[in-house]
């Protein structure tokens, strides 16, 4: 059996067994949907932008996928601390296969978590344009998950303690989220903020998901997918390189 499949299956089993973690991870997305989705709804409508819940739901799904994928890097630090990573690295298999197995596992968990939040948004009142749109949107969501799971692998391979990863969450992940346009339209932004949103890869992911689910895309779905594919290749290469440098 391929080591990629074994490590992917291990990550999936860990996720399915952690029911408390699954429930707890719904807290922040529910807060954004409830507080912002309904609280800012009247303001958004008065501005002539329609339903804010329709607008923010793809952003909340993107946030969930981003956070879950990035936390797969913490799992690597745990495995390093308790010796499982060392046992894996000494196995007679190429390290790139180990890296891909972990990355695909983290991405799969992120997609499943995004699927859960999508179900919550439907209950809250979000309505996509069609069933086909949902299927296509989740292909982009899977690409988002792979991009940031690969980034998490690169970061997790470079760090040796949990404190360092907490700094990464505060100074990288949160800015990625807030600059992505998940909570506000990208039109008419100040010049400096517009530049920052354009260099944020999550911006293109959320824009693509939003464009497919509700038919409103700022950059165009084709450009969104092209940018995600390009960034994904770079992050996978970086993750494989950093993982190959881990000392046993």
The pLDDT score that the predictor gives to residue 248 is 58
Report the number of distinct structural domains present in the chain: 1
d(CA 223, CA 247): 39
Distance CA 215, CA 19 (A): 34
- Whether the CB-CB separation of 245 and 90 falls below 8 Å is answered with no
Report whether 57 contacts 33 (CB < 8 A).
yes
HEC assignment per residue over the chain:
CCHHHHHHHHHHHHHHHCHHHHHHCCHHHHHHHHHHHHHCHHHHHHCCCCCHHHHHHHHHHHHHHHHHHHHHHHHHHHHHHHCHHHHHHCCCCCHHHHHHHHHHHHHHHHHHHHHHHHHHHHHHCCCCCCHHHHHHHHHHHHHHHHHHHHHHHHHHHHCCCHHHHHHHHHHHHHHHHHCCCCCCCCCCCCHHHHHHHHCCHHHHHHHHHHHHHHCCCCCCHHHHHHHHHHHHHHHHHHHHHHHHCCCC
Say what the pLDDT of residue 131 is: 92
Residue-number span of the structural domain to which 37 is assigned: 3-244
Tens-place pLDDT, residues 129-138: 999 999 999 9
Q: What proportion of the chain, given as a percentage, has pLDDT over 90?
A: 37
Q: For position 73, what pLDDT does the model report? A: 76
In the structure, what pLDDT confidence band is assigned to residue 61 with cuts at 50, 70 and 90? Answer: very high
pLDDT tops 70 at residue 1: no
Contact 163, 128 (CB under 8 A): no
* Residues near 71 by beta carbon (within 8 Å), at least 6 away in sequence: 152
Q: What pLDDT does residue 242 have?
A: 86
pTM to 2 decimal places:
0.90
Q: Are 72 and 151 in contact (CB under 8 A)?
A: no
| pLDDT tens-digit series, residues 5-48 | 777 777 777 776 776 666 766 777 777 777 776 777 676 776 55
CA 95 to chain centre: 24
29 closest CA partner among 140, 107, 123: 123
Predicted confidence at residue 4, as pLDDT, reads 77
Binned at pLDDT 50, 70 and 90, residue 144 comes out as very high
């Amino acid at each position: 059996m391929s080591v990629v499949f074994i490590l992917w299956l291990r990550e999936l089993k860990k996720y399915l067994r952690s029911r408390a973690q699954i429930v707890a991870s719904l807290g922040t997305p529910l807060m954004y949907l409830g507080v912002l989705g309904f609280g800012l709804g009247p303001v958004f409508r008065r501005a002539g932008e329609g339903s804010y819940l329709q607008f923010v739901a793809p952003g909340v799904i993107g946030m969930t996928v981003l956070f879950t994928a990035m936390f797969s890097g913490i799992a690597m630090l745990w495995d390093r601390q308790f010796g499982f990573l060392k046992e894996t690295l000494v196995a007679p298999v190429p390290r790139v296969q180990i890296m891909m197995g972990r990355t695909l596992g983290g991405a799969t968990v992120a997609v499943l978590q995004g699927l859960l939040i999508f179900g919550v948004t439907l209950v809250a009142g979000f309505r996509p344009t069609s069933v086909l749109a949902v299927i296509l949107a989740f292909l982009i969501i899977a690409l988002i998950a792979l991009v940031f799971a690969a980034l998490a692998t690169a970061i997790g391979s470079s760090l040796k303690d949990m404190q360092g990863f907490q700094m990464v969450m505060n100074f990288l992940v949160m800015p990625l989220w807030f600059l992505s346009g998940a909570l506000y339209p990208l039109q008419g932004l100040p010049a400096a903020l517009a530049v920052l949103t354009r260099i944020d890869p999550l911006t293109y992911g959320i824009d693509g998901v939003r464009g497919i689910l509700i038919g409103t895309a700022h950059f165009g779905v084709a450009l969104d997918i092209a940018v995600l594919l390009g960034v994904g290749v770079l992050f996978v290469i970086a993750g494989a390189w950093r993982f190959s440098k881990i000392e046993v």
